[in-house]
Structure 1
Amino acid sequence: MRKYLLTSVLLAVTFCALGQDLRCNISVNAAQIQGTYRQAFQTLQTALYEFMNNRSWSNNVYSVDERIECNFLINITEQVGPNEYKGTLQVQSRRPIFGSSYSTVLFNFNDNDVQFSYQEFDKLEFNENSYGSALTSLLAYYAYVVIGLDYDSFSPKGGNEYFKKAEKIVSNAQTASEKGWKPYESSHKNRYWLIENILNPKYSAVRNASYTYHRLGLDQMASKISEGRDEVTNGLLSIQKVFRDKPDPYLFLLKIFFDAKSDELVNVYSEAYASEKQRIYQILSEIDQANEPKYKKITEEKKNI
């Protein structure tokens, strides 16, 4: 009987572990906060790691190797009251490319509107149906965005379920005192506008382009480099159409895409034909003018040493 119970427990633990979605590296940097009990921030980091990695964010079953890789860096810059802090959050997520050891960046975003309360050993709780904790709502929001972007890269609009969950967190936070959740804050570049753009039908071609770019493009390039690169180009052409239609003057979702992809695009086209390089440079310099100097490298001839 004891052996049977032990086996049952082990099976239960294994099943729970397989249900977890994220492999999240999370860091809390509080170097700018002086004269405070430092151990509290280490305790916070450990608690946040467990909150992100031990929770099942979806109903899907993952092996350890299949979990979505992401990094969260909380940089605490100011203490504004007893146990009340302000700072920033850098979020990056990656996805492996089929048939290679390469991982591509899906999301690379810096949130400058972080504010939360924390006292050492506070229990981190999250409820999808209400806004309780600023800190856990923030992390849950980005967990769902990260998962949604990952799913979008494997199937057309595959991340809808998770983006809707992130949208619900935003809706619940409309009466919150913390910044970043409301449409009139942060010059249309905050959590509200990120999820609004993702779910806005006017930007649907950008989401479809993610599938084309990743699943039909990069995932093919290990075995069919030219065919895969052609699909990456098709994804960029879809994004170019959105840029020209200009669904809003900020084009926030396009900035999010190119913040993750600009360096990679230079590498993708480094071995293309000269005519293709020139065409891609024209497309990219139009739709992502901020990174035009970077894209100029695509057209430069490599010098033999």
Structure 2
Amino acid sequence: MKRILWILLLAGFGKLQAQELNARVTILAPQVSNISKPTIDALQRTIRDFLNNNKFSTESYKPTERIDCSFIITINSWDGGSGYTAEAQIQSSRPVFNSSYNSTLLNMSDKNFDFSYNDGATIDFSDQNYISNISALLSYYAYTIIGLDKDSFARTGGTTYFKKAQNIINLAQASGNAGWKAADGLRNRFWFNENVLNPVFSELRAFIYSYHLNGLDQLTDNDRGLTAIVAALPALQQMDKQKLGSIFPNVYFASKAEEVTNVLAKLNMQERLKAYNMLAEIDPANIGKYEGLKQ
């Protein structure tokens, strides 16, 4: 009997460690005077548990393989019942091989993070049915985070998860909540997902793979990583220039420009200027951050 219980405990522990995300959740309400700290703390724990304890894939992750991510949710108003208007900053990163450095993969602001939640309730998860906006929001970002992480390890490796996020969008559109439809604006969840699945941006997804696996992951051993990053840049020049202002490249380059500059600063002057010219054409919105390559 003891042996059976021990086996069950081990099986349960293994399942607990199989989840994909290692999420930190912070909830702020600086302008909301009618909400108590215990309410905020309880909501914070509930959201964290949803992200860290649900399985979003069929794969088993070791504790060290879980994806570091953070959700900073700012509540702008509360109706005193279940209705919250909020916005969120969602970030994720992945470790660079053989180093203590984590490289950002996602740094996205969501201005339409409104939801309903009853104090003390759990948040249920389903990838087949719309349950609530908070469940849909968290599931969408979980799949997006996993998809970007997969893209950094295998060329377009995150497609399965981006399609799961797309299914969440389709289920949530009838809810009437903002951010799920094309007509809700150009910088929302719908368009980010549309972009990552759009062949127009296939070069950018291929660059994410080359930059991380063939570039950053190789830097600690030799300079091949630098060569790989520079070699991957010309493909980005083939992207439709009219699409550079779209949310996917905009969000990605805004989070990577400074890092790319610091990494490529190790090149000689001739190679730095070559990289600068390409980056200035690919990402003119962040040209100021690339100026360091000219020094």
Scaled by the length of structure 2, what TM-score is found? 0.96
Q: Deviations over 1:24-61 (max 9, x none)?
A: 11111122211223311110001111111111111111
Secondary structure of the structure 1 residue equivalent to 2:94: strand
Aligned-residue offset at 1:81: 6.3
CA deviations on 1:205-254 (whole Å, 9 max, x unpaired) are 111111111111111111122x211211233222221144x3x4733221
How far residue 273 of structure 1 moved from its aligned partner, in angstroms, is 0.7
Alpha-carbon spacing, 1:249–1:267, altered in 2? closer, same or farther (3 Å): closer
Residue matched to 2:107: 108
CA contact (8 A) 1:216 1:231 kept: yes
Which of 205, 210, 221 does residue 223 from structure 1 map onto? Answer: 221
Alignment of 1:175-254 (within 5 A): 175-186=174-185, 188-225=186-223, 227-244=224-241, 246=242, 248=243, 250-254=245-249
Contact 1:216-1:228 at 8 Å conserved across structures:
yes
Query: Which sections of structure 2, spanning at least 5 residues, go unmatched?
Result: none
C-alpha contact 1:213 1:234 (8 A) present in aligned 2: no
Measure the CA separation in 2 of the matches of 1:38 and 1:252.
35
Q: 1:65-84 residue pairs with structure 2 within 5 A?
A: 65-80=64-79, 82-84=81-83
CA contact (8 A) 1:78 1:86 kept: yes
CA distance in 2 between partners of 1:81 and 1:197 (Å) = 37
Q: Does 1:294 align with 2:289?
A: yes
Aligned to 1:98: 97
Aligned 8 A contact 1:181 1:190 in 2:
yes
User: Does 2:270 correspond to 1:270?
Assistant: no
Aligned to 2:58: 59
Corresponding position: 1:131 with 2:126: no
Match of 1:141? 140
Classify 1:27/1:146 alpha carbon distance in 2 versus 1 (closer, same or farther; 3 Å). same
Residues 80 and 259 of structure 1, relative CA distance in 2, 3 Å threshold? farther
2:32 matched residue in structure 1: 33
User: Distance in 2 between the 1:65 and 1:194 partners?
Assistant: 28
Shift in Å at residue 277 of structure 1? 1.0
Distance in 1 of aligned mates of 2:83 and 2:139: 19
Separation in 2, partners of 1:17, 1:132: 24
Contact 1:243–1:251 (CA under 8 A) maintained in structure 2: no
8 Å contact kept, 1:20–1:56: yes
Q: CA deviation at 1:79?
A: 2.4
What RMSD, in angstroms, separates the aligned Cα atoms of the two structures?
A: 1.4
Q: Match of 1:208, SS?
A: helix
**2:118 corresponds to 1:119:** yes
Alignment partners' CA distance in 1, 2:253 and 2:164: 24
Equivalence for 2:166: 167
Separation (CA, whole Å) in 2 of partners of 1:154 and 1:80: 44
Q: Which moved more, 1:228-237 or 1:144-153?
A: 228-237
Partner SS state of residue 88, structure 2: strand
Q: Give the gaps of 5 or more residues in structure 1.
A: 301-305
Q: 1:241-287: per-residue Cα shift (whole Å, max 9, x none)?
A: 1144x3x4733221122022111011111121101111111111222
Whole-Å Cα distance in 1 between the matches of residues 234 and 69 of structure 2? Answer: 28
Structure 2 residue aligned with 1:303: none
Give the count of matched residue pairs.
295
The equivalent of 2:47 in structure 1 is 48
- Taking the aligned partners of 1:257 and 1:243, their CA distance within structure 2 comes to 16
Residues 145-189 of structure 1 deviation map (CA, whole Å, 9 limit, x = unaligned): 000000011011111111110000001111122100000112x11
Q: Which amino acid in structure 2 is aligned with residue 90 of structure 1? A: Q
1-side partners of 2:171 and 2:138: how far apart? 14
